[in-house]
């Protein structure tokens, strides 16, 4: 059995190991969507979120959410750090105008601004030490009047995750079908605490639970910031 679960030693370590996990998972990533019983409800919630204009999707993965954004966007850009994920996403979006970017979000700098920045199940992969810098990046990436829109797991998801108690950042252990084991950052938020944290960072955020295991959020920079 191949085991990649050594401790994260520094920030670049957890980032690279997280990317390595998703590169390894790309071929079986879509199974999670095939098996996700809550997907119809999540799609319904997505339909009601304010997504329009020039749209940027962070951590697009295999394009499961990208395909749902396409008809609502004037232009669509999708970013991911794993080339294996992007290969599948490009095939899924063939014939639909989508600009793909291969980049690590934690070192990427935007070359333009967007009306909507969307991410699904990504915020929980941002460690606390990077949260302020990540939301500063979002502020820089948004066009005037723009908003951030997201879906994610809630704190209840801890019941089904294998937490690594001794890790330096909140971490879970994941296993792939080939038997390999990987570590990835997993920070589970609740709506009130995340709303308060974003307020402290200069955002007006509306975050609410979808069901026992998921939440959704809309955030806009406060004009005075």
List pLDDT tens digits, range 10-63: 455 889 999 999 999 999 999 988 888 889 999 999 999 999 999 999 999 999
- pLDDT, residue 19, reads 96
Question: What percentage of the chain carries pLDDT values higher than 90?
Answer: 82
Local confidence band at 101 (pLDDT 50, 70, 90 cut-offs): very high
**162-176 mean pLDDT:** 86
Task: Give the pLDDT score at 136.
Answer: 98
- For 148-168, how does the pLDDT look when each residue is reduced to its tens digit (9 = 90+)? 999 999 998 887 788 887 777
- pLDDT, residue 12, reads 55
pLDDT for residue 207 is more than 90:
yes
As a whole number of Å, the CA-based R_g of the chain is 17
- Mean model confidence pLDDT for the chain: 92
pTM score over 0.75: yes
Residue 4 has pLDDT above 70, yes or no: no
Range 205-219 average pLDDT = 96
pLDDT of residue 224: 55
Distance CA 186, CA 189 (A): 10
pLDDT at 108: 96
What is the CATH code of the structural domain delimited by 3-221?
A: 3.40.50.150
Q: How far is the C-alpha of 147 from the C-alpha of 165, rounded, in Å?
A: 35
Q: Which residues neighbour 187 within 8 Å (Cβ) at sequence distance 6 or greater?
A: 123, 124, 125, 126, 127, 128, 170
128, pLDDT greater than 70 = yes
């Amino acid at each position: 059995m191949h085991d990649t679960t050594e401790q994260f030693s520094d920030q670049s370590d957890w980032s690279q190991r997280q990317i390595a996990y998703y590169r390894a998972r790309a071929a079986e990533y879509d199974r999670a969507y095939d098996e996700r019983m809550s997907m119809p409800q999540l799609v319904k919630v997505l339909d009601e979120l304010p997504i329009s204009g020039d749209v940027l999707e962070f951590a697009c993965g295999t394009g499961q959410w990208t395909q749902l954004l396409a008809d609502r966007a004037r232009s669509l850009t999708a970013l991911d750090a794993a080339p294996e994920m992007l290969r599948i996403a490009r095939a899924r979006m063939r014939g639909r105008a989508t600009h793909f970017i291969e980049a690590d979000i934690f070192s990427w700098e935007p070359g333009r601004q967007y009306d909507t920045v969307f991410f699904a199940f990504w915020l929980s992969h941002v460690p606390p030490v990077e949260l302020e810098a990540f939301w500063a990046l979002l502020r820089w990436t948004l066009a005037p009047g723009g908003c951030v829109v997201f879906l994610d797991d809630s704190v209840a998801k801890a019941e089904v995750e294998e937490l690594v108690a001794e890790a330096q950042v909140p971490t879970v252990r994941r296993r792939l079908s080939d038997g390999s084991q990987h570590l990835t950052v997993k920070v589970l938020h609740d709506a009130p605490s995340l709303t308060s944290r974003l307020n402290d960072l200069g955002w007006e955020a509306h975050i609410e639970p979808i069901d026992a295991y998921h939440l959704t959020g809309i955030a806009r920079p406060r004009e005075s910031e």
